[in-house]
Structure 1
Amino acid sequence: MAPVANETTAHADGRVGRRIENYTAFWQKDISKEDTQDTENRLSNYVDVINGYYDGATGLYEYGWGTSFHFSRYYPGEGFYQALARHEHYLAFKMNLKPGMRVLDVGCGIGGPAREIAQFADVQIVGLNNNEFQVGRARKLTKKAGLENQISYTVGDFMKLAEKFGENSFDAVYAIEATVHAPSWEGVYGEIQKVLKPGGVFGVYEWCMTDRWDPSIPEHKEVAHGIEIGNGIPEMRPLAKARQAILNVGFEIEHEEDLAERPDPIPWYYPLEGDISKAQTLWDVFTVWRMSNSGKFVTHHGLWLIEKLGIVPKGTWEVGETLKIAADALVKSGREKLFTPMYLVIARKPAPN
């Protein structure tokens, strides 16, 4: 069994060094050695898996991606950050969020989407995250934006939402590329259903393998493994399973679509390809460059150096190395349409007759 976090190594900002160091121990680097026991171990220790990953990866995410840790569609000539914001607006629009609603953001990261949606829809948002370091960053950035009276954050487990907030507590709940980290979709969707008021709406952008993915094909299995280890995901699962889980817990689906299936001339994974010629704006050149060979070289050696100097916790460099595995797996699976980061579902909790 992989080791779990040693809380005595916690940093003042909430990161736990031992947890970061132990992160990669949850996977067999050689996929041929992976078995069901490894998967079960990650699922049962999902809190340590997630926290070990985000303790090490959050700073790298901010450096390479900004404050909204998700993918999006792109229009020709559209800036990277504008596309991310539009993706968040689209979710809020499809959920029909209204001013004054109390909304829960499940797996809120460092609050980028919450700040955007709060201003776009004029709603009150509670951000939930089980990573103390990310919650601290979210509070700091939200205060800087002057939105602390509209958005609050709390540390908590998304598998225990009813225990945390009580049933029928929110008008709406959304999750953006977060619930894939759950040990089971029925578990996390069921908790979301409980905390929603009757008639409340749930919107999600889910990470999942598409119907084209066949785990019996070694290359397909390997690409899913790369997504898992490079993104802190205990187990990648198929889209059909996500849809069924939403129905199984009692939601009524009002709209569903895999946005990655739209015939966009610019693919959702283009920033990961590292091809500067594909940057949509001059400002985006730097974002794309970070994933080029020279950009990876600078990050690789720079991160190694600052870890040696004690500027970041031990283990951060190794987590950073898994991000390269993730990028390659995401681009490959995106090109072959084996994976989607944007299976969109708008579902409603039935209201009593």
Structure 2
Amino acid sequence: MAPAATDSTVHADGRVGKRIENYAAFWQKDLSKEAGQDTENRLANYTDVINGYYDGATGLYEYGWGASFHFSRFYKGEGFYQSLARHEHYLAFKMNLKPGMRVLDVGCGIGGPAREIAQFADVQIVGLNNNDFQVGRARKLTAKAGLSDQITYVVGDFMKLAEKFGENSFDAVYAIEATVHAPSFEGVYGEIMKVLKPGGVFGVYEWCMTDRWDPSIPAHKEVAHGIELGNGIPEMRPIANAREAIIKVGFQIEHEEDLADRPDPVPWYYPLEGDITKAQTLWDIFTVWRMSSSGKFVTHHGLWFIEKLGIVPKGTWEVGETLKVAADALVASGREKLFTPMYFVVGRKPAEN
């Protein structure tokens, strides 16, 4: 059982007490010691898991990835940030978002995708996030972009959307690599169904283990554990689980595919490999270098040093160490196609008769 976050001090930026320090205690780093009760504890305390992780990881994400915390496909020679934007545009296009629509971004991070989609589709977006620190960053960056009239952010639990917004409140809802943090797909998809207006559309890029993944194989189980530990995920689940949940809550699937299964010459995970010879543009060399052995060395010692100085909260260094575990697990599972960060589904809530 993970210890409670006894220090409830709220820092000026929204991070809370010992949440970061307590994050790693939700996992047994040695998989052989992991038991069913550990998973149950993470699921029951998913908000503490998520907040502890993102209190510690958000600054590292911005340093290494920018403002859009997700993966994407790559065309040959395509720049990193251009690929992220195209991935967001593709979602908006397939959902057929139209000017004036009221749209909910579930698990909005620091608002990178919301800002891109708001400008691309000319929609009004409400970003939901249960992490105060990320919401604060999202508001600041959105104001800087001059989009505060078009995008607003609220702190809330995606397992209580109807309670927060009321039923039939949005024309469209999307989630980009966020609902994997939920204690169950059916629970969060059911809440999304409630807040959508009849005939409304839902688009999701979901993190899933693929049909090739077999949890009875130790190496497969180990890689899923690494993804969980390094990304604040209570429990990784297979694609079949996500698809079944979407259908069970009542969505009519209009589009479905695993984008990671496309035969792309440049794999989605290449920025995590740390091989600068694979950088698609000169600008991307630094992005890729951060995951190289020398880049990790600099981050490892630099983060340890600034934590000792009190510049970042205690526990940030340890969360940074789990990100290395995640990167290795994501690359390994990506190469073997055991995992996808982009199981893509567009579903529609049935219109009222």
Do they fold alike, i.e. is TM over 0.5? yes
SS in 2 for 1:4: coil
Unaligned runs of 5+ in 1: none
AA matched with 1:301: H
**1:75 Cα deviation (Å)?**
0.3
**1:8 Cα deviation (Å)?**
2.3
**1:248 Cα deviation (Å)?**
0.5
**1:16 Cα deviation (Å)?**
1.5
AA matched with 2:96: N
Q: 1:216 corresponds to which residue? A: 216
AA matched with 2:297: F
Q: 2:335 corresponds to which residue? A: 335
Q: Deviation per CA, 1:235-275: give whole Å up to 9, x if none.
A: 00000000000001011100000000000000000000000
Instruction: Tell me if structure 1 keeps the 8 A contact 2:8–2:17.
Output: no
AA matched with 2:225: H
**1:3 Cα deviation (Å)?**
1.3
Tell me the number of residue pairs that the alignment of Structure 1 and Structure 2 aligns. Answer: 353
Q: Distance in 1 between matches of 2:83 and 2:10?
A: 36
Instruction: Tell me if structure 1 keeps the 8 A contact 2:74–2:267.
Output: yes
Is 1:128 matched with 2:128? yes
Q: Distance in 1 between matches of 2:8 and 2:46?
A: 20
Q: Deviation per CA, 1:41-65: give whole Å up to 9, x if none.
A: 0000000000000000000000000
Q: Deviation per CA, 1:102-129: give whole Å up to 9, x if none.
A: 0000000000000000000000000000
Name the TM-score, length of structure 1 as normaliser. Answer: 0.99
Q: 1:296 corresponds to which residue? A: 296
Q: 1:282 corresponds to which residue? A: 282
Q: 1:196 corresponds to which residue? A: 196
- After superposition, where does 1:98-117 map in structure 2 within 5 Å? 98-117=98-117
Q: Distance in 1 between matches of 2:4 and 2:69?
A: 25
RMSD of aligned residue pairs (Cα, Å): 0.5
AA matched with 1:289: W
Instruction: Tell me if structure 2 keeps the 8 A contact 1:17–1:315.
Output: no
AA matched with 2:176: I
Q: 1:252 corresponds to which residue? A: 252
Is 1:344 matched with 2:344? yes
Q: Distance in 1 between matches of 2:129 and 2:116?
A: 17
AA matched with 1:112: G
| Deviation >4 Å, runs of 4+ | none
AA matched with 2:221: K
Q: Distance in 2 between matches of 1:174 and 1:6?
A: 35
Q: Distance in 1 between matches of 2:104 and 2:8?
A: 31
SS in 2 for 1:314: coil
AA matched with 1:54: Y
Q: Distance in 2 between matches of 1:49 and 1:242?
A: 21
SS in 1 for 2:21: helix
Q: Deviation per CA, 1:203-252: give whole Å up to 9, x if none.
A: 00000000000000000000000000000000000000000000010111
Instruction: Tell me if structure 2 keeps the 8 A contact 1:170–1:200.
Output: yes
Q: Distance in 1 between matches of 2:48 and 2:276?
A: 36
Name the TM-score, length of structure 2 as normaliser. Answer: 0.99
Identity, % of aligned positions: 88
Q: 2:165 corresponds to which residue? A: 165
Q: Deviation per CA, 1:108-161: give whole Å up to 9, x if none.
A: 000000000000000000000000000000000000000000000000000000
AA matched with 2:201: V
Q: Distance in 1 between matches of 2:123 and 2:339?
A: 32
Q: Distance in 1 between matches of 2:13 and 2:7?
A: 13
Q: Distance in 2 between matches of 1:17 and 1:304?
A: 18
Q: Distance in 1 between matches of 2:154 and 2:5?
A: 21
AA matched with 2:163: E
**1:7 Cα deviation (Å)?**
5.0
Q: 2:225 corresponds to which residue? A: 225
